[in-house]
Structure 1
Amino acid sequence: MFGKKISVFLFFFVTVFLFLGQSQVNAAGEQVIYSSTNGDQILMRDSVGEYFVNGIKISNNKQITWNRLLENTWVGGSFTREQNVQFIDGISEIKSVQFASFKSNYAQDVPHAFVLKVGHILMSCREAQFSAGEWNISFKDVFGNYTPRYTDYDGSTTFPSDGDSYLIINADTGKVVDFVSNLNPYYYGKAEKFEIINATEGSNSLEIPSVQPQLRLSEIQDNKAKISWNSVPYGLEYEVEFNSDTIFSNSNSIELKNMPPNTEYQARIRAKNDLGSGPWSQYLIFRTKLQTPEVTYSTTSSTLQLNWLPVEGAESYEVDFNGLIVQVGNVTEFVPAGIESNKEYTFAVRALSSNNESLWSPPVKILTPFISGLSPNYGLVAGNNLIDINGSNFVSGAKAQFGTTEVATTFVSSTKLRVWVPAASSEGSVNVKITNPDGQVAVLSNGYTYTQQGAGPAPTISGLSPNYGLVAGNNVIEINGSNFVNGAKAQFGTTEVPATFVSSTLLRAKVPAASSARSVDIKVTNPDGQVAVLSNGYKYVEQVFPAPTISGMSPSSGLVTGNNVIEINGSNFVSGATAQFGTTEVPATFVRSTLLRAKVPAASSAGSVDIKVTNPDGQVAVLSNGYKYVEQVFPAPTISSLSPSSGLVTGNNLIDINGSNFVSGATAQFGTTEVPATFVRSTLLRVKVPAASSAGSVDIKVTNPDGQVAVLLDGYTYTLPAPAPAPVITSISPNSGVLTGGNVVVINGANFLNGVNAQFGNVQVAATTFVSSNQLRVKVPAGISSGMVDITIINPDGKSAQLIGGYTYN
């Protein structure tokens, strides 16, 4: 059915494949499409239309589907196209099959491949992304036909330009790895070229499996196992005998679940098809692992204890503690020595017996907390002041303990907690303890000191920034000084306000309102009661605004369409100011007292207008002729080159027009024929070349929507297609026969065309079967007399080839 081994051939688009004969269909409806002579490689179809490679199902819902993303990039742009191919049982057809070594730039080397010549498959295209971020969705194929559509014929229209299409399937994995067709986008040339090496003969018959499978244990746990085996020639299904159960599989492995731990099992398999079953494998005897230990832990400030439940059948245990394996014997706890704060510990446990073991328990990670300090670390015995506890590995929900008094914490981060200090019965230092929700503890000995009033250094105030403001208050100022403590308060005159603690040298406070303009003392009181005062430290003033001024605009001109944002520079601008362009008022965005931003309104005509800024208090600034409106002017387009700059007179190919100042809506003209252009960017248009009546160069013209034109003289050259080569006859097989004729021979050669005629001597052959450009099949006519005759081949274009004495009548 298949030809002999062939040497390396390089195939472009149209490739020679041998015709696939009638496949055997057994009683169950299974169809063997291809089988190697030793049965190692089998491509088959089952009774419902699903396809299998060596027992591996490669179709889904009777469809073999393949997708790929084709990519192309160039300087300044990129293009990607998504291609989808669907072979549908009952609609699509397999015309021929070869088993071969396959190689292409897309699939790379495929040592074992099924090369399927296919027809009437469903193909769709979608352009995913085009150029620099611009989206252009197109569902057309390279011939301009809308997809999805069936190749060759869609039920109403034929597509002879589609040519031959090939699906390449990896014969080891069953995966589709390449698609070769005229329908692949022209720019992706590397996907079109491929090689077939050492195509081998096969058959389409099915035999009873005769090879014993080799069974192995791929994975084992305490409650499940996975067994696998090698593919068996002609094995389309595998029967697994597991203890007293029988399971069927069409893959090369099976997972067994819900198995008790530390239990012995046995399994064996054999290959099957509808003709019969092969020999059983040797028994595989295995045991599930011991049950994985369930581990818990508890901690104190200096210890860590691991505990786990006893595992049935275990004789000892080992602990992986930070990478160190420790044998602990037949106990169910482990207390490591030398636990430190501010460290990470990881542990896992597994059970052991004389003939088995468990998996390691899931690793548990412990980060021991650590207290580096408190800020502040002292306060009055009355407590109720807010402090920060700094350290590491704190967890939300942690508790704090001052001496024997536990309080809740506010989680700020893993390195900071914030707490309200509880009251104490007397002065003195106490330990501070942090307990994370998982029980881990960190202790800072004598971490906090309770004092009577005045125990810490007194605060000082060096200045305020700013040191004045409106009597309405509500502005935030900074108080600079020293020895400030978290929880300090600020006082403006007689009005006390809370202060935000930034550092021991900086507080922030919101200024309260005052009844009149005047200077007031500023007082800071630390939580320990110590006070700092800055006499007349802050001055309240009445609200007075100076008149605004305009010094300039940036930019000072723009299109009459407006809608651009400009900056107005000057002085004494106030939040809420408005801007006016001529007679049109617009809101202004207050940036600072010297800068406003405004969106320019449209104007009815070009010219200069006054700019006016009005503050909320009614004071005005005017800049005469401060802004100039101008008309919109587009520069003329230019054409620098075409890529490509030549093509066949049939046209219909896409080209790029490179240049400058192109505008969306521009059209292109080839000679006297105008075509629409796809605007990509101001330097690139893309057009489909129209057909021409004759070969030669034509001018290219681009016209922008405003009528401006660019011309490239002789910019594109139409060429004629290369003439078809004359046919060649290399051999005839067989090259002799009886004088009465009637036998079928194969004529081998090159450059045969569909519609070719054959002649034996002077006798015209009644019918010539065109197989491919390299092969014809003819029925030999009766000879006039015995002896050699010349064989003549005449293509439809009149070109001919002759093999002198090519056939002998006996």
Structure 2
Amino acid sequence: MPPPVVSSVSPNQGPAAGGTTVTVTGTGFTGVTSVRFGAKSSPAFTSSSTTKITARTPSGTGTVNVTVTTSGGTSTQSVPFTYVPAPSLTGLSPAEGPVSGGTTVVLTGASFSGVTAVEFDGVPAASFTVDSSSQIIAVTPAHAAGPAAVTVTTSSGTSNALNFTYTAAPSVTGLSPNQGPVSGGTTVTLTGANFSAATAVQFGGVAAASFTVDSGSQITAVAPSHAGGAAAVTVTTPGGTSNPADPNAFFYYAAPPSLTGLVPPSGTTAGGTTVTLTGSDLLGATAVEFGGVAAASFTVDSSTQITAVAPSHAAGTAAVTVTTLGGSSNPVGYVYLDTPVLVSVEPDLGPADGGTVVTLTGNNVAAATDVQFGAVTASFTVVSPTQITTVVPADTAGPVSVTVTTPAGTSNGLTYTRLAAPNI
């Protein structure tokens, strides 16, 4: 019998561990005694005809020649079978990312040909591209926080595992202090969660002058210079960036506050008058004072307006000031007034049709805003802090109460009698 002839083997490659079922074709396959892959015999084979053998590969490495032996001899043709090693991983870059997934990771290693899967803890990568036999670009799927074993699978098997760490996004819950000058330089303590491995701290989009990660829940940062106003503070880690919409803004004050006006400009010594202060750089106000006495309360409406309630104070002019971390404002005078008091009305009677010029004498009437005869408003002129001249309005006959009103209140009433004309 002539020796057998081997013409092909299909498939012509398989894993180094062996176990691949291949079909060997050729001629003279009568009485086959062995099928060899290099120096190793197939652990199992079946000769289904004189031209076809089904064999299972032994383990091996590299490219080997497939031979068939019968009683007529051994084939001598060069028919290769290539052992493909299982893939191996040597590196991941980056090796961590957010739990939401979406991180592009470069996998390096060997034997990446014919990759069928890239998995993160058994979860398929969102996508992957085999760049070469030693590099794969994969996009991470979503995963719970913590390490995830990354593996690559080919027809030759599954690689060793390398850990990719999933990190939860950081969150900022507090700043201390929460304001400072536009020139920067304020040391600020940030509190929150998931600060480990922080790569950036920003104030309104501007990188902190420096920062130190004290723990997973605390960072010490130095505020950079910045335009005036509120600046959202964010922390970035491989897990993502904290939410800038969190109510944790650092306020930059540009200069000491300034005051331009008070409405009303005066009120009673008892306090309680609501006063609107206007000016600039009023945000972050820490104090509003009337003559050195703290306002009963105040609300910062905007950078140009504060609403304050005047405290009680002795009569006279009190300097109103606003204080922020930037300093204290210029003073603006607020006049405290005693309640007006009427002492006399001269003359105290006149015709019912009005028109009589009357002199009102009393105290604290300089800031008069209204003179009334009964319920009727009269025209008037303030002559001095103790005297007003007024014209009696036309009205029906009879006695009426005359009063004077100032921002400090309304005076006592004195009687003025209007005489009806005689009926002849």
The alignment's TM-score, normalised by the length of structure 2, stands at 0.35
The alignment's TM-score, normalised by the length of structure 1, stands at 0.20
Report which of the two structures shows the higher radius of gyration computed on alpha carbons: 2
Larger RCO (alpha carbons 8 Å, 6+ apart): 2
Q: Which is richer in strand?
A: 2
